[in-house]
Structure 1
Amino acid sequence: MTTALKTGLCQALGISTPIVQAPVGSAATAELAAAVSQAGGLGTLALTWVTPQEAAQRIRTTRRLTDRPFGVNLVLDFPLDHLLTTCLDEGVRIISTFWGDPGTVNEQVHAAGALHLHTVGSTEEARRAVDAGVDVIVAQGWEAGGHVRGRVGTMALVPAVVDAVHPVPVIAAGGIGDGRGLAAALALGAQAGWLGTRFLTAFEADTHETYRAAVLHATEADTVYTRCFDGGWPDAPHRALRNATLTAWERAGRPPSPHRPGEGETVATTPDGGKHLRYDDMIPTADASGDLAALALYAGQATGLVTHAAPAAEIVKTIAAQAADILGRE
């Protein structure tokens, strides 16, 4: 890594490149997290919806694949006591949280000697998180894919949060898809970039080809900020690619559940017997079958910058090299 990309947060996290792989739900495999970490970034496992036993297995698999630091992400809207304990008992020392009061877990995280990252969507929320003891703030702009906390764009949000919580380090999230975005985030005062959409097409991600193709062919204008796919996580707005499910719901006037078109229909299944309904918050994983294009195709506005699939390590190195070139120019 060149001097242009060195930040204090890199040292604190034990990484060499200021790129963090966002916790992209079911797409975030141990192989993906390990590959990102091995390439110098910070890989992340999304563990909110798995059992403590499965969480331990994924952590151990990741550790077998890399000796570099990696993190886990937990959503505070859901019961997490046993999961958090398992993660800390397994030796994870970077815990990121989302969507709730970070003060409910901060003491336990710090008691285990771990760093606590928390994602926010406003300066007010950032200040509250710092007051609760959070070590690193992730400022998520409205452009982000998946579940979105606020309504402010990344360009305006990041410097405002940096100013509001200084000297607490800030990671920029939302709309970062290449080295230009990473360079811009660092110029705004962030100490790393948080990328999700770009890693959906990484070879190691658990995403079905239908999903990958949708991301690769979408433009920056093809995503929708919506509450359509709320099965499993109600009252949580999100950004996804437009598809037949979303369009039919909008044409019907966006009726509430259970009055939505096709409500209760099973549109996809998985070999383990899983059945995914039309408005579930489930993405098309690699082993799913059915009308996969009708599922939630979470993606951010950076999707227009994602033009090819690649190994995660190549994604990290390419983005870092482009950012370093930009920031290192005279």
Structure 2
Amino acid sequence: MFASTPLSTSFTRLFGIRHPIVSAPMGRGAPPELVAAVTNAGGLGGLGLTWDSPQRIIELVNKVRQLTNDGPFLANFVLEWDQRERLDAALSAGARIISFFWGDPARYIDHAKAAGAKVVQTVGTPEEARRAVELGVDVIVAQGNEAGGHVWSRLSTMVLVPLVAEVAGKVPVLAAGGIADGRGLAAALVLGASGALIGTRFLASPEAAYHADYKQRLIEALATDTVESMLFDGGWPNAPGRALRNRTVQIWEDAGRPKPGSRPGEGDEVGLTPEGNIIRRYAIASKLSGGTGNIDDFVIWAGQSVGLVHDIRPASEIVTGVVREASEILARTASQT
């Protein structure tokens, strides 16, 4: 009954999609194939473009548009760096949903909107959410500290989402951090969100670009196996991130958590990218399919929701499974009141 029933919210109506699910724009780990699979399943795929060249951005956007038959998707930029040139490339290639993270989007919003794009902003406090509304963003992502990868907020998702929803008004809010199944989506909707942005669960899919060793670690991990630190800073210093504890984390902890410059094995070559580029210990880059090296030497980005991930599943099945479970929970709850 619920498998084909969409959960209509202000977010799904804004973008004309069936399901209130967004796949997190997880850099190279979320290639066009994953983005398109989520969009084609009725959600909204997320494409991370922060570190790509303008020409590469055009290629990636065109690939997603081709795979989705011009379906909607989200193009993301981290504002730790100037993104004007990259944003121009994405807009010129046809990206029409632009999301920003880790900084003030004020100088980019008008430019994106002038090109006909909707703007999504990730926040970590209700104060940030209030400013985002004043700036005219179309959607707010409330990312709790449980999230994997780089984390902006000090608050948990359970606390942050209702606080943000209170100040967002009519602007749709997406909950992010700690969500991997229909229970999480249902909870997010009850808390006042209009949908969920999901990362870790989508990394355990055939479409994700991470190496099979990486995905196996996700399946095996407990929620308590994640650790937040600034350890993996090669390419992005002074930014806290959540990853799985592995040998690299352990040797650093055993050494007393020394600061950059005196960490064990710092600068060691630990592997290669699929293109043959060197990856060094403590870099933000992890092991991709086609790359080389021992997974214990790389960062393994993952949120606390990793404890809910038990298998590799196609992204389309993840979308429909999450929606089906959330629909059943909400219907069951409604019938009991």
TM range (shorter): over 0.9
The superposition leaves residues 111-166 of structure 1 with CA deviations (integer Å, 9 ceiling, x where unpaired) of: 11111101111111111222222221100011000000011100111001000221
Where does residue 63 of structure 2 map in the other structure? 61
**Contact in 2 for aligned 1:103/1:133 (Cα 8 Å):** no
Where does residue 135 of structure 2 map in the other structure? 132
TM-score (norm 2): 0.96
User: What is the RMSD of the two structures over their aligned residues, measured on CA atoms?
Assistant: 1.0
Where does residue 192 of structure 2 map in the other structure? 189
Unpaired segments ≥5 residues, structure 2: none
SS at match of 1:84: helix
Confirm whether residue 41 of structure 1 aligns to residue 43 of structure 2: yes
1:176 is aligned, of 160, 179, 202, to: 179
1:99 is aligned, of 89, 98, 102, to: 102
1:109 is aligned, of 106, 109, 112, to: 112
What is the letter of the counterpart of residue 26 of structure 1? R
Where does residue 299 of structure 1 map in the other structure? 302
Where does residue 236 of structure 2 map in the other structure? 233
Task: Assess, with a 3 A threshold, how the Cα gap between structure 1 residues 308 and 271 changes in structure 2: closer, same or farther.
Answer: closer
Q: Displacement of 1:64 after TM fit?
A: 1.1
Q: Displacement of 1:302 after TM fit?
A: 0.4
Q: Displacement of 1:54 after TM fit?
A: 0.8
What is the alpha-carbon distance in structure 1 between the residues aligned to residue 198 and residue 56 of structure 2?
25
Unpaired segments ≥5 residues, structure 1: none
The superposition leaves residues 254-309 of structure 1 with CA deviations (integer Å, 9 ceiling, x where unpaired) of: 22111111000010112422111101001211111112222110000000111000
What is the alpha-carbon distance in structure 2 between the residues aligned to residue 189 and residue 270 of structure 1?
41
Where does residue 326 of structure 2 map in the other structure? 323
Where does residue 123 of structure 1 map in the other structure? 126
What is the alpha-carbon distance in structure 1 between the residues aligned to residue 114 and residue 305 of structure 2?
37
What is the alpha-carbon distance in structure 2 between the residues aligned to residue 265 and residue 63 of structure 1?
39
Where does residue 205 of structure 2 map in the other structure? 202
What is the letter of the counterpart of residue 31 of structure 1? E
1:72 is aligned, of 72, 75, 81, to: 75
Where does residue 264 of structure 2 map in the other structure? 261
What is the letter of the counterpart of residue 17 of structure 2? I
Identity of aligned residues (%): 50
**Contact in 2 for aligned 1:26/1:283 (Cα 8 Å):** no
What is the letter of the counterpart of residue 24 of structure 2? A
What is the alpha-carbon distance in structure 2 between the residues aligned to residue 266 and residue 130 of structure 1?
44
TM-score (norm 1): 0.98
SS at match of 1:232: coil
SS at match of 1:221: helix
SS at match of 2:224: coil
What is the alpha-carbon distance in structure 2 between the residues aligned to residue 14 and residue 280 of structure 1?
38
What is the alpha-carbon distance in structure 2 between the residues aligned to residue 153 and residue 79 of structure 1?
29
1:245-284 to 2 correspondence within 5 Å? Answer: 245-284=248-287
The superposition leaves residues 141-199 of structure 1 with CA deviations (integer Å, 9 ceiling, x where unpaired) of: 11000000011100111001000221211000000010000000011110010000000
Aligned residues: 329
What is the alpha-carbon distance in structure 1 between the residues aligned to residue 274 and residue 168 of structure 2?
46
Q: Displacement of 1:13 after TM fit?
A: 1.6
**Contact in 1 for aligned 2:273/2:287 (Cα 8 Å):** no
What is the alpha-carbon distance in structure 2 between the residues aligned to residue 129 and residue 167 of structure 1?
13
What is the alpha-carbon distance in structure 2 between the residues aligned to residue 165 and residue 46 of structure 1?
25
What is the alpha-carbon distance in structure 1 between the residues aligned to residue 181 and residue 132 of structure 2?
28
Structure 1 moving runs of 4+ over 6 Å: none
